[in-house]
Amino acid sequence: MAKEFGSRARDRYIPDRFTIKGAFYAATAVMIDSSDRIDGWKAIAAYIGKSVRTAQQWSVARGLPIRKTGGGVIALKSEIDAWLSGSELPEVQEVPSLEVPTPPLAKPATRVRLRWLAASAGPIVLLATAASFWVTHRLGPPVSFRVQGSILRTLDANGRVVWEHSFPGISQVDYPDEPPRDDWSGQRGLFTDLDGDGKRELLFAYYPSSDSDHASTLFCFRDDGAVLWSTKLGHTLTTESGLSIYPAYRTHGLVVLQHPRPDGGRIVVASHHSYQSTEHVAIIDAHGRVCSEYWHPGWFDKMVVGNFGDREVIALGGVNNGFRDIGFGPTLVLLDPDSVNGQASEPEGDLSHRLLGIPQAHEAAVVLFPDLVRDRQQHPFAFNYVGDIELTAAYLHVGVTGLEHVHYQFDEHLNLGGFAADEATEQWLAKGLLPERQTTIKNAVMGIKILRNRFAGVTVTASKER
């Protein structure tokens, strides 16, 4: 169950500097030499050579000398220099002012100090100080998350826990205890505003540690930790060869489509089967309903959403195991978000990957690249796959990687416009005889198979011929 920590933290912390000198700080401002003054988090972070987030965290956790004002924060170069060197902070002249700085956060204070402040500083100053302290130290919206054991915790910009959710058990292989991340690059979690209310929900792919349940479940959490919905991914499939594929999918990619829909946002979820070579791509609406599903005989390593030509597409790169057996494993798939449904293409006569009861998909494009392995005898299990995709309206860049690294560039009609190899691959090519080198390059360029291509209006029939 989600748990809110905000009110307890605010009730517990009262500045330790509410002493006689602290009360004088609260009732007065500081006369500061303008050359010694640093205004704003950005300038403070630049002065100490850290990011704004690090500077904010140091002000709370390590006592970085920051002064809160009604309009923001300031710091003194002399105080920061002394703090960085570990020496005592210099005394500064204090004179009355209308601004009321908030003293820095330290350990909890006693009620006796608070009552003394009320009597000496007056109720107006006390209320202003309390209000400034609350604004400065209240919990912000969650911007990152981490998994520790079976607990999902979200953190604000200052690294403080906003809310947490406990699961029955989380696979520690898939969710190691790592430093907080904003979205793990969309692999297992993603912050996004699905309903357009200006607050970001957290999409989190939960993968259980239970031996009896291996299916990912996508959770959608509100910004206060309440569960809006959850959707279990995948279902049992059967191949034409009689193999049963049970739902045991590990989610590795989350992305939200750019263009809004009347019924809310659309989420693309890519998951790979734990035991079988099957990839599941699901389109889920903003309410957790599965709109369509795409099944691929292999796995995807890269997923990108963007505009290509005149339309938004889902670009997927990886391996098609059916065509890998005949030397064309590296695969690029382009899907139209409004027509994602069915199973991917496979070579004719391949029954081990064809699914019963699932219609043939109508992808926007399917491109197969030839495998380039420098020495089959030395590397019998080596293969290539599409591991890099860069998508713009005018061109498409595809990187095929493995032992070799080859880059292709296509125009908006999927016509090949460029070809290049990395330095190591070029050195390998240069070692061969000229005819062998020419054959290899010709195969890499001319051997590309385009099975589908709506961008050019041409469809090529797939076959086992090489």
Which residues contact residue 19 at a Cβ distance below 8 angstroms, ignoring those fewer than 6 apart? 113
Under DSSP, is residue 201 helix (H, G, I), strand (E, B) or coil?
Answer: strand
Instruction: For residue 342, give Cα distances in angstroms to 13, 88, 100, 368, 400.
Output: 57, 69, 64, 19, 26
Which of the two residues, 466 and 286, has the higher pLDDT score?
286
Determine the residue type at 269.
V
Per-residue pLDDT, 326: 83
**Range 126-139 average pLDDT:** 59
CA 336 from centroid of its chain's CA atoms: 23
Half-sphere exposure in the Cβ direction for 295 (13 Å, CA): 26
Per-residue pLDDT, 178: 59
Any idea what the Cα angle at residue 31 is, between residues 29 and 35, rounded to 5°? 130
Above 50 in pLDDT, residue 108?
no
Comparing 217-226, 243-252, 392-401, 439-448, the range with the smallest average pLDDT is: 439-448
Per-residue pLDDT, 328: 86
Per-residue pLDDT, 156: 92
Above 50 in pLDDT, residue 266?
yes
pTM above 0.75, yes or no: no
Question: Which tens digit of pLDDT belongs to each residue from 297-346?
Answer: 999 999 999 899 888 999 999 999 888 888 888 999 999 998 889 999 88
Comparing 2-6, 55-59, 285-289, 401-405, the range with the smallest average pLDDT is: 2-6
Task: Identify which of 41, 53, 1, 46 has the alpha carbon closest to the alpha carbon of residue 179.
Answer: 53
The two structure tokens encoding residue 251: 């989610």
Q: Torsion over CA of 433, 415, 307 and 206, rounded to 10 degrees?
A: -50
Above 90 in pLDDT, residue 457?
no
pLDDT band at 11 (very low <50, low <70, confident <90, very high): very low
Which of the two residues, 380 and 388, has the higher pLDDT score?
388
Ranges of each domain in the chain = 3-137, 140-232, 254-466
**Range 136-147 average pLDDT:** 82
Per-residue pLDDT, 187: 77
First to last CA, the chain: 56
Task: Identify which of 459, 449, 296 has the alpha carbon closest to the alpha carbon of residue 364.
Answer: 459
Per-residue pLDDT, 125: 56
Q: In what order do the strands lie in the sheet with 298-308?
A: 298-308, 311-320, 330-335, 365-368, 449-453
Above 90 in pLDDT, residue 219?
yes
Q: Are 105 and 60 in contact, with CB atoms under 8 Å apart?
A: yes
Question: Which of the given ranges, 24-38, 129-143, 306-320, 377-391, has the highest pLDDT on average?
Answer: 306-320
| Spatial separation of the C-alpha atoms in residues 361 and 359, rounded to whole Å | 6
Question: Which of the given ranges, 113-117, 229-233, 263-267, 321-325, has the highest pLDDT on average?
Answer: 229-233
% residues pLDDT > 90 (the chain): 23
pLDDT band at 51 (very low <50, low <70, confident <90, very high): confident
Per-residue pLDDT, 13: 35
Q: Are 164 and 200 in contact, with CB atoms under 8 Å apart?
A: no
Determine the residue type at 6.
G
**Range 367-388 average pLDDT:** 78
The strand pairing partners of 367, in sequence order, are 332, 450
Under DSSP, is residue 290 helix (H, G, I), strand (E, B) or coil?
Answer: strand
**Range 107-112 average pLDDT:** 42
> Residue for token digits 């959707």?
231
Q: Are 352 and 284 in contact, with CB atoms under 8 Å apart?
A: no
Q: Counting beta carbons within 10 angstroms of the beta carbon of residue 292, is it exposed (0 to 12), middle (13 to 18) or buried (19 or more)?
A: middle
Per-residue pLDDT, 397: 94
Determine the residue type at 46.
A
Which of the two residues, 422 and 103, has the higher pLDDT score?
422
